[in-house]
Amino acid sequence: MRIFISSVRRGLEVERDALPGLIKALGHEPVRFEDFSAQSAPSREACIKGVESSDAYLLILGPHYGTVFPETGQSATHDEWVAAQRAGIARYVFRKSGSTFDVEQQQFEKSLGEYGSGRFYKAFSDVSELQQAVVASIRELEAAPESLDFEPLQETVEVRWLLEDDFRNQFSSSERCLLEIHVVPIHGRPVSARLLDEVGAGLPGQVRNAGLVSAAQGVEFDHFEGGVIVRSPAPSRRGGLHETHDGSLAAVLIRKSGGTTVTFRLPGDMMGSILDLNDLSRRLGSALRLAGQVDVSGADRFAIGVGITSTSMVAVGELGRGPRNSVGMHLSSAPLHLEPDETVSRAALDRGAGEVATMLARSLIRTFQNST
């Protein structure tokens, strides 16, 4: 496996230098930013690509946050953590005990969620303890079975479809067609008002870190009767009438019941919205990973429902092939829903998100085509 080592070097020089040889001795390939210094690409860009091409990510937390990049407003280590989250690779966090963290590092640690709470990270006081913890984590990863699995749904699961639920008023009537993804925990615990407030306070940052909106896009946070919501206003469209416009995030909802809903505006052109397999897979994957990052239900299994709010002026197509001159479309404006008929393990909200997203995207397109 390729194992990425991520940390600020200052204050952790000895620890960083002690890990590559250890990882090689275990039969794996260590990856660090030092390995990219001779490349033509900017070091930050090279590091992000290094994370994305790795199988596992080791984050070492020391006292310092590091230099902030003006383009992201975050340190290189913070950017690498976000990249590892988006890629859905295995992540392990190691915190140096007895360190006085600077303010920015304290905030970064807090943003790690349950990693920062101590539930998922391992503490170390010296190099020997760090090496032992890293060996244990790698052995755990080596021994881990394929954790993505599917089981038939044994009970009725209520999916709160947008047009059938009380929060349909949260969306503008001008939204032509929305892709909706619902992640419903099976036998999860309800979310208390206190915990919902805590999760909601960090939700805008989680949405940005997941890459669902750019740093320049605004988001609006609000409470509603059933939970909390982050909305992203529709971006202004530029270009000619025949040009394709990109899809965008519409909203993310977290319910008191523990479920998560993510909605997107579909890409399209003057003729309507476009269902593109690659675009759908990418959006579904990012929604599943975000749901995994914000989930506080404690559930081990989940049901996933996907759909579109209207089939009117929607067609299957391939983005990037130029303007469309004609297209066959539905005359009905009825929504299209894929009710879940099986449950998935938690890996579907992390490392298995890409695989599950592709299956769901193909099923949605197939169902849409069969309904014409």
Among 89-93, 265-269, 323-327, the minimum mean pLDDT is found in 323-327
Mean pLDDT of 17-38: 87
- Is the confidence at residue 89, as pLDDT, over 80? yes
Among 92-106, 109-123, 141-155, 212-226, the minimum mean pLDDT is found in 109-123
- Is the confidence at residue 3, as pLDDT, over 70? yes
Under CATH, what is the fold of the domain 2-143? Answer: Rossmann fold (3.40.50)
- In angstroms, the CA 350 to CA 90 distance is 9
Task: Name residue 228's beta-bridge partners.
Answer: 223, 254
Mean pLDDT of 257-283: 90
SS3 labels along 295-353: CCCCCCEEEEEEEECCCECEEECCCCCCCCCCCCCECCCCCEEECCCEEEEHHHHCCCH
- In angstroms, the CA 124 to CA 323 distance is 58
pTM above 0.75, yes or no: no
The pLDDT confidence band at residue 320, using thresholds 50, 70 and 90, is confident
- Is the confidence at residue 274, as pLDDT, over 70? yes
Mean pLDDT of 50-56: 90
Which residue did the predictor score with more confidence, 300 or 325? 300
- pLDDT above 70 covers a percentage of the chain that reads 87
Average pLDDT across the chain, whole number: 85
- Is the confidence at residue 151, as pLDDT, over 70? yes
Which residue did the predictor score with more confidence, 202 or 231? 231
Domain boundaries, the chain: 2-143, 150-370
Nearest to 262 by CA among 310, 333, 317, 206: 206
- Is the confidence at residue 156, as pLDDT, over 70? yes
Nearest to 371 by CA among 324, 342, 326, 335: 335
- The per-residue DSSP string of 239-260 comes to S-TTSPBPPEEEEEEEETTS-E
Which residue did the predictor score with more confidence, 110 or 306? 306
DSSP state of 211: T
In this predicted structure, what is the pLDDT of residue 197? 86
The pLDDT confidence band at residue 334, using thresholds 50, 70 and 90, is confident
Q: Which residue has the tokens 């920062």?
A: 116
